Structure 1
């Protein structure tokens, strides 16, 4: 499908270029740069959408004016269909293939067949169409990940690096196959080709990296650093990637022997610690920077578990939140030598890394209001787990609202656990010594002067010995639980509710099982559970609720099966008991 106001008035003296994937993250700024170029290009935008839908910031822009004047036109192209590609590129001299990874079919990123057809077969079709239409130059947008095996660091890697024997990431594998096809096509039927490998492109319009950071911030995981946090990375601002394509096209004309059939890494020439870059983005968007380091193996195990859960829940082609390839990218050093691009295609960044970060933050700041992913930051509605914990000090501690405070309490409880259960003394002896230390501390605090050797000694005020609201709430909860237990026992004694009786039997059986375990082990498990389970539930509330729902359905089905196998006389006897519907 072609959208072209005034396209029939193209000036034949002007060169025509086509940007396949012209509405992609990198394609959009490339189109604008081509329209601004001194070569006075006629630009054809080819993409998978049925029509050209301009963004709000593109209204009354250079692109909209070019569309109106006929300097720019739009073609709907499915790269799996060579005839559609030929229609879009016929008469052009240069093709920028941005490596389309999505079509109107909304294919999933982990659908191998679909992605192979788009990335590899689509690139084959582009090359064949270029030869059929006598196109002179083809520049392919690849990725620096084509030389990353997903496990080992790359420190200042250059173009001599080979492809890995095995890829951990499917899309990187397919990109490597596609760029190989482009490089081998050089000088075929007069077609000159080259490949650009941008490293971690970011900027306004990013649909992957920054949204991933925002989703981790929402889940509460953004406070963690995977690994030691010292891994270095290269990031490339999107306008610099687009600028590199313009440089490559010019170099293919003037420095053919040094550029044609070659691949070039593209960076911002400013390597930075990966987690420092992440921290700058998160802080700019109003989140706290990552601080706590967790082992890579632990995150790797979580990724494996996440993948398994997604498969169990039968979520089709939906990708797990955290893949194995992402885990390694978060913890490995990935920096590249960009000197070949500087020397041979004349590339140098036009936007610094610092300025690029600022522009990116500004472009995503609107998501505070527009994105449902970020509304939680301004929403005072407490979560379910927050309500469960009383929305007070206990909730703040167990949900790690203040990391340092929670860790201090956790460490204190661990020390108490060791003192009472692992020190080798009896519980009574440990309790007596603990109370003796408290008494000695209180007495010493009382007799010491307010100032000693120039240091002010903080005295304990009488108000600190009063029962706080938190303690009162805890006592009230215990009293309420006791009253509820007594009410339940009265109902059991009346013999009027079969469901309650079964619940009491199951509960007593569980209590019996716990009593058989060492008391110290039970307390240790409860301590770890309290400081981890609620926090994990807050991060994965939907997934946990879904599992609970499925488990409940399974138990109900099991109940029906068991009732169906009971003798009719027993079923009739059980049905005589009233059911309040609480089960």
Structure 2
């Protein structure tokens, strides 16, 4: 073991444990503690061994000089926690790693039962101070605004965010353990934490941007939010530890909101991040009620299919962030623990953009778009002009084609005219437009009017002869078929045509218009969505086919022997 530097020993360092020390905020806190120079830091996390990043040279040096050490810890095993905490005076309880937000049982064990084990271990090891990293989301309940909220806000009776609910339970347990066996506790509630190394907040919005959803604004876009740069959160933890040590009465057993003290419009903040990484700034506003309705549909899908394909709780959390005001008062933190931001919001955004430069549009999105590998949707559409239009490769051209088709659909099917009268009116309207275009001057109000060449309306003799030949052939062939049916020579063909005409009558009379409309909408949406979520949709199809196969197997088991043999024979025949 390396010998501790004498100069470091003269500082009379304190020993602390950073639980969750390899998480986003845990890494930041460890780095700041080491920079202060008067701490012996025990980094504890769920990973079996410590894998250092090339940017963690300070931690590497601290490990070699025994200023830092790493411990594998299991929050569900109290003995492993006691082993880490023995001899330490302070515990910084940061975010729990490995939490699956879609698995309530796992979340509950790690967050609530884990908090109980940490409290018990702290009391057993005579730890003096326990600072818990909570979240401002613990007081966010239903869909409503919070303006300048302070620590008097109660926990909501009901919440749509399971993670926040369990975090609130863990926070309540830690605060209730204050001043028992000499343990002093407090909790910090940062709001919308971001910064270099972020694994949730910023990456989630960049993922949406890469999928093309960054252009949409939910609601009016005027809702305010508080944001907190990661270094300010770690600075607040150190302030809280010092305050617990010297100002016990005003800090112990209390909670404190932590922000950058610079509330701003949520969509403006998001725009700064996206523009800094060369993504499109949000500009299309969607009604919040419409998005809420879509979420209710997704909730039903989530309950039926589970969490394999998307995270419904994460979508709800994003909807709350994006459409409601969430601002918090930090007067208590400023007064009682001496907190004030050490990094401004503007500087924090700049540092975050620099750290995520590898995910910028020109370095990731463009590479993806220029990839030589052809997507499945592109292959299905033939990879030509139709594919470019239906996959929205050129948005203006795709939108123009969609608009023209919608107008034609309305003209022929929804206007109340017969098909022939609609076609005649359209031909008359087109003729008048072309006739009027021919009388326009070469320049009108300073704009150059481009003439349509007469060659566009010429048809070659060969094309006319081919068209006439084809028409005559089809006419003669049809006459022969009709003559054969009239003489009763081919009853099989008669019944086929009769059934086809009957089905065509049903379609034309009831379903044709709806099918055209649905097909038009699906054509311009389904292929684009499939290209963006190819793996998820393929997984869903695979899940459905697997479920169908399992159902058939179950049906064969409970069916009589004769039916089981028939089903088994059909399955083998299809293979």
**Are 1:456 and 2:438 an aligned pair?**
no
In structure 2, what is the Cα distance between the partners aligned to 1:197 and 1:181?
15
Q: Which of 529, 550, 556 pairs up with 1:536?
A: 529
| Aligned position for 2:433 | 441
In structure 2, what is the Cα distance between the partners aligned to 1:372 and 1:63?
30
Cα distance change on mapping 1:322 and 1:169 into 2, 3 Å? closer
Contact 1:446/1:459 (<8 A) preserved: no
Give the 5 Å matches for 1:123-522.
123-306=115-298, 309=301, 319=311, 323-367=315-359, 376-452=368-444, 454-462=445-453, 465=456, 513-517=506-510, 519-522=512-515
Deviations for 1:223-259, whole angstroms, at most 9, x for unmatched residues?
Answer: 3333333322222111111111111112223333322
In structure 1, what is the Cα distance between the partners aligned to 2:211 and 2:228?
27
| Aligned position for 1:496 | none
- Structure 1 SS opposite 2:205: helix
In structure 2, what is the Cα distance between the partners aligned to 1:283 and 1:364?
12
Contact 2:228/2:259 (<8 A) preserved: yes
| Aligned position for 2:54 | 56
Deviations for 1:269-324, whole angstroms, at most 9, x for unmatched residues?
Answer: 22222233333333333432333333444444544554555665566798459543
In structure 2, what is the Cα distance between the partners aligned to 1:522 and 1:207?
44
**Are 1:23 and 2:22 an aligned pair?**
yes
Deviations for 1:27-69, whole angstroms, at most 9, x for unmatched residues?
Answer: 111111111126x1111111111222111211xx221111111
- Structure 2 SS opposite 1:517: helix
Cα distance change on mapping 1:517 and 1:259 into 2, 3 Å? same
Cα distance change on mapping 1:392 and 1:447 into 2, 3 Å? same
Cα distance change on mapping 1:217 and 1:109 into 2, 3 Å? same
**Are 1:78 and 2:74 an aligned pair?**
yes
Cα distance change on mapping 1:322 and 1:190 into 2, 3 Å? closer
- Structure 2 SS opposite 1:56: coil
| TM-score (norm. length: structure 1) | 0.79
Cα distance change on mapping 1:154 and 1:129 into 2, 3 Å? same
**Are 1:45 and 2:37 an aligned pair?**
no
In structure 1, what is the Cα distance between the partners aligned to 2:91 and 2:564?
74
- Structure 2 SS opposite 1:366: helix
Contact 1:158/1:338 (<8 A) preserved: yes
In structure 2, what is the Cα distance between the partners aligned to 1:90 and 1:556?
53
Cα distance change on mapping 1:318 and 1:419 into 2, 3 Å? closer
| Aligned position for 1:474 | none
**Are 1:97 and 2:93 an aligned pair?**
yes
Contact 2:5/2:65 (<8 A) preserved: no
Contact 1:234/1:334 (<8 A) preserved: yes
Give unpaired runs (5+ residues) of structure 1. Answer: 468-478, 487-502
In structure 2, what is the Cα distance between the partners aligned to 1:98 and 1:508?
71
- Structure 1 SS opposite 2:44: strand
Contact 2:4/2:66 (<8 A) preserved: yes
Contact 1:150/1:329 (<8 A) preserved: no
1:6 is displaced (CA, Å) by 4.6
Give unpaired runs (5+ residues) of structure 2. Answer: 459-469, 478-495
1:406 is displaced (CA, Å) by 3.5
In structure 2, what is the Cα distance between the partners aligned to 1:201 and 1:121?
25
- Structure 2 SS opposite 1:221: coil
In structure 2, what is the Cα distance between the partners aligned to 1:170 and 1:377?
36
| TM-score (norm. length: structure 2) | 0.80
Contact 2:162/2:313 (<8 A) preserved: no
- Structure 2 SS opposite 1:222: coil
In structure 1, what is the Cα distance between the partners aligned to 2:455 and 2:49?
69
Q: Which of 95, 107, 110 pairs up with 2:102?
A: 110
